[in-house]
Chain A
Amino acid sequence: MAGAKSEFIAWDRTLHPAAFTPTYKTSVLRSPRHALLSLHNSLSEVTGPVFGHNEIGLLDNDLIRNYAKSGDPIGERIIVHGRVLDEMGRPVPKTLVEFWQANAAGRYRHKKDTYLAPIDPNFGGCGRTITDENGYYYFRTVKPGPYPWRNYINSWRPAHIHFSVFGSGFVQRLITQMYFEGDPLIPICPIVNVIPDKAAVDRLIAPLDMNEQVPMDSLCYRFDIVLRGSRSTLFENRLEGN
């Protein structure tokens, strides 16, 4: 765990959205106005929760089955797979990855979602898994639909899957969204467009991965996630002192 003891490389703020992004209107009142206070990492930052396979159910990474009541959910069957890596290209093993999404019609199973598209009785829309030794994860689901929302009178979200990832330290904690190759709604989405860097947007778009399709069953998309790395050289005192 030598790597995990050293501090994390700073957030690259040129790639992440700012807090205050008026074109995504909800951010206006929910964004701090003071500068963030930069803090060297201590033990409080380089540590974080550890999760075990015993906490995860066998169907938790199968959104086609994990809420099925009377049959399979409606929609395009897909596999989503990829690796969680850090900036150095090192795998992030045994880390919890959680995901949630709308159903194939673009409707969420959530008491606050009132979009007129139907709830799918066989689709919950969430799952989770733990990466293996190589940082690899996969899950099965149906492709989510796009949906309208009130930002401008009518904005549309491109089809997307939300991801939550932990890493080895609590300050690696990341929530992001995965988009699908070829979706024309991506470049006109106010939430996508808070990201200041075009290449950073492209890295949120999962390509179709025909090598990993399941023949006569499911298409496949590949989505790698890169968390902050930690320095590998420690030419200074141990974080907790000598």
Chain B
Amino acid sequence: MPQELHYLKQTASQTAGPYVHIGLAPHAAGFDIFQNNFSNVLAGAGTRGERIVIEGRVFDGTGTPVRDALVEIWQANSFGRYNHPADTQDKELDPEFRGWGRAAADFNTGVYTFDTVKPGPVIGRHGRPMAPHVSVWVVARGINIGLNTRMYFADETAANGADPVLNLIELESRRKTLLAARSERDGKVVYTFDIHLQGDQETVFFDV
């Protein structure tokens, strides 16, 4: 008998369920309990960078909005640096920006929204720059294990064309499922990122 590997086993994922809001967004569940609530607003008055709104809906296999979805995002600041000790890139940190937010889809429309800034590009593996992007994580009733994807900015054509992750997607037509279109509304820059769990437009999800 060889030596034993005394590793622990990962705790199995379970669905967030229909009442995920109670724990992660109690206001959405319909009550007020914590003094400080985590929210969908990532950027404050002092945050540097271009202010943007990210919004969209999560759709199921019939094209129906998933109105009980919960979406979290994680992103670099406008200089392209993550607010985390493992990021030692020689770029500025923004003390006014953590880079994480959480949004519950609207129970009526299914729309989720984030107020943030556009991230700068981050260096990828082997020194290859990645196009500006936002990491996205989706949970809901019926989703057994959280789904990871990335949102890219459709107007970053050159950077997207060179992005090592987008280029990993073999079927070119599927790359566009990660591109958020830019528009302007009421003086705000809005990037629309719809997530399709299933169907002809199924979003590319990652095993990361």
Contacts and interface: CB of A to CB of B under 8 A. Distances in A.
Interface of A: 1, 4-5, 10-13, 15-19, 21, 24, 26-34, 36-50, 55-57, 60, 66-67, 85-89, 98-100, 108-113, 124-126, 128, 162, 164, 168-171, 173-177, 191-192, 194-195, 197, 199-201, 203-204, 224-229, 237, 239-242
Q: Give the one of B66, B124, B133, B150 with max A CB within 10 A.
A: B124
Interface in B50-108: 60-62, 64, 66, 68, 72, 74, 76, 82-89, 98-100, 107
Given A49-B100, A109-B29, A42 B207 contact: no
A47 B84 contact: yes
Interface of B: 6-24, 26, 29-31, 33-36, 60-62, 64, 66, 68, 72, 74, 76, 82-89, 98-100, 107, 122-128, 130, 133, 135, 137, 139-148, 150, 165, 168-169, 174, 197-198, 202-208
Chain B CB within 10 Å, residue with most, of A11, A162, A191? A162
A41 B6 CA distance: 24
B18 A5 contact: no
A37 B206 contact: yes
A87 B10 contact: yes
A57 B205 CA distance: 35
Contacts of B14: 17, 162, 175-177, 191-192, 195, 204
13 contacts: A17-B145, A19-B147, A30-B60, A44-B74, A50-B83, A89-B6, A89-B8, A124-B26, A125-B22, A176-B12, A192-B14, A228-B10, A240-B127
Nearest to B75: A44
A35 to B, nearest CB: 8
A103 B8 CA distance: 32
Contacts of A16: 10, 12-13, 144-145
Contacts of A86: 8
A89 to B, nearest CB: 6
